[in-house]
Structure 1
Amino acid sequence: MQWTVPRPFVPRPFLDRLRLRRAALRFAAHGWAVTPGARLIGRRFACGQPACPIMTCHPALASWEDTASTDPARVQAWWRHEPHSVLLVTGRRLDAIEVPAALGLRVLGTVRLNRRADACGPVAVTAAGRWMFLVAPGAPLRPELENRLDVVRHGSGSWIPAAPSRMPDGPVRWAVSPDQAQWRLPGSETVQQLMTDALGTVREPQLTVPRQLSTARRGG
């Protein structure tokens, strides 16, 4: 008769917190500033601030722009007790260009098909269909992209949620992880050129302003 040793029960929030903390520490170790986000409870996010009206993903700290950090001790403290979402602060070491799935798939396919090492960088994807291309900071959006409601540049004063943070529709994941990209960030102009070239080749969906991510604002 074979005996099995029962595995100890580990609460999911505890495991989530460990995964989120591990991810935040890795980002910080590579110089990408992080800040804790509100944690998902049911279908809304709770930041712990009394009477906070924001139900979507948002920073847990009111002073997040001033306190965002790469310091491991501070990051450890933020995730010591709560499974906060992991938010990457943009406009410092990186920017992010957020696009709809159809455009994101086309651009990533072009990068892989043509072996465009100069355009290969981390790409985060949400279950709601938003793709976020991480790029070197500073460059504004090209006019062809700036005029679209479904394209958002996250620069100074903005942030994006990073894997493995949970959103109402499912966790954020990497289409191209930082490890796969060797933690390199392509030039924003290069990635934007590929996006502009792809605009005429994707089926145009009904345009909507993204609401489920970060500040839904164009970083300056």
Structure 2
Amino acid sequence: MSGENTAHDGRGGRQGRLSQWLRGRRPKEAADPAGREALLLAAAGAGLPLAPAAHPAPGYRCSCDRVGCPTPARHPVSFAWQTQSTTDRAQIERWARHQPQANFITATGMVHDVLDVPLAAGREALERLLDAGVEVGPVAESDDGRLLFFTLTRGTPEDEDEWWPCELDCHPETMDEHPGLRWHCRGSYVLVPPARLPGDEGRSVHWVRGPEHELPDPLSLLEVLTDVGTRHAGREDAGQVGAGWPPRH
């Protein structure tokens, strides 16, 4: 998929100012210093807490000094990323300017969660949701084959007895255990656009629907995501699904 995605809001074709700015922009163009910083500040302005992450190095390597890094360019640079994550504009500007190559992660389970699904299933689910008039929030596409649906968090109750776990809950160390639907909540994170991925030039994480869209309740999306994901799980050639992307709304 190219970076020429149009952001869709599913509400009569109305688009926010940021979505209009994003239209037709390729990921590498959005990653120039001014565009990159604007996108990061837009995400923070929407309430997504950010922290610096590693970035690609030549040879499908990671900028960190870990030999054989298992998640190159996809992890925070600090072990304190949960407490470091912030929406403070001045701090994010400092990070962006002092670390011009860094990717950024957003810590989930504070303000928002992320429902992370295989790309083909995610594309079909997004089109179904928009066709049904469901309020879909920000959506990002990762060129490693995932679609990320940003939602409200299930909450961070003061009383731990009120926390309800889910078998879909995903944490950085359990990613391989969730090849289908992953629910990033407390203790997890995802890359936030614009982010560069290792491999071919131009591989990235980029917005399909920008962060100006309000975060929906995750349960309003979950039924469609699980239904479509279950059907896709048994298909050998999931790449046949999704022709005609992006959905026309």
Same fold, TM exceeding 0.5? yes
TM-score (norm 2): 0.66
Alpha-carbon offset, residue 17 of structure 1: 3.8
1:188 maps to 218
Aligned to 1:46: 63
Structure 2 SS opposite 1:131: strand
Deviation at 1:130, TM superposition (A): 0.5
Residue aligning to 1:69: 86
- What per-residue deviation string (whole Å, max 9, x for no partner) do you get for residues 148-184 of structure 1? 63221111111111211111250112222223x2xx1
- Contact between 2:122 and 2:147, CA under 8 Å: does it hold in 1? yes
Hey, what does 1:60 align to over in structure 2? 77
- The amino acid across from 1:64 in the alignment is W
Q: Distance in 1 between matches of 2:235 and 2:198?
A: 22
The alpha-carbon distance between structure 1 residues 19 and 127, as it changes in their structure 2 partners (threshold 3 A), is same
| Corresponding residue of 1:176 | 209
Query: Does structure 1 residue 159 correspond to structure 2 residue 189?
Result: yes
Letter in 1 for 2:56: L
Q: Which residue of 1 aligns with 2:145?
A: 129
Q: Which amino acid aligns with 1:94?
A: H
Percent identical: 25
Mapping of residues 196-211 of structure 1, within 5 Å: 196-202=226-232, 204-205=234-235
Could you tell me how far 1:38 is from its partner in structure 2? 0.7
CA contact (8 A) 2:108 2:187 kept: yes
Q: How far apart are the structure 2 equivalents of 1:77 and 1:90?
A: 22
Q: Note the C-alpha offset of 1:138.
A: 1.4
Rg comparison, structure with higher value: 1
- Structure number with the bigger relative contact order (C-alpha 8 A, sep ≥ 6) is 2
Q: Return the offset for 1:200.
A: 5.0
Alignment partner of 1:108 is 2:135: no
> 1:172 corresponds to which letter in structure 2?
V
| d(CA) in 1 for partners of 2:187, 2:233 | 32
Q: For each residue in 1:122-151, what CA deviation from the matched residue of structure 2 results, as whole angstroms up to 9, or x when unmatched?
A: 1111112111111111176866x6796322
- Tell me the amino acid that sits aligned with residue 97 of structure 2: R
Residue identity in the other structure for 1:76: E
Give the TM-score taking structure 1 as reference length: 0.74
| In the alignment, structure 1 residue 94 sits paired with structure 2 residue 109 | no
Residue type of the alignment partner of 1:35: A
Letter in 1 for 2:98: H
CA distance in 2, matches of 1:30, 1:154: 18
SS of equivalent residue, structure 1 residue 26: helix
Amino acid at match of 1:80: R
**Residues 99 and 151 in structure 1, CA contact (< 8 A), matched pair in contact too:** yes
Conserved 8 A contact 1:96-1:132? yes
Q: Which runs of 5+ in 1 are unaligned?
A: 1-11, 207-220
Residue 19 of structure 1 is matched in structure 2 by 35
CA RMSD of aligned residues (A): 2.6
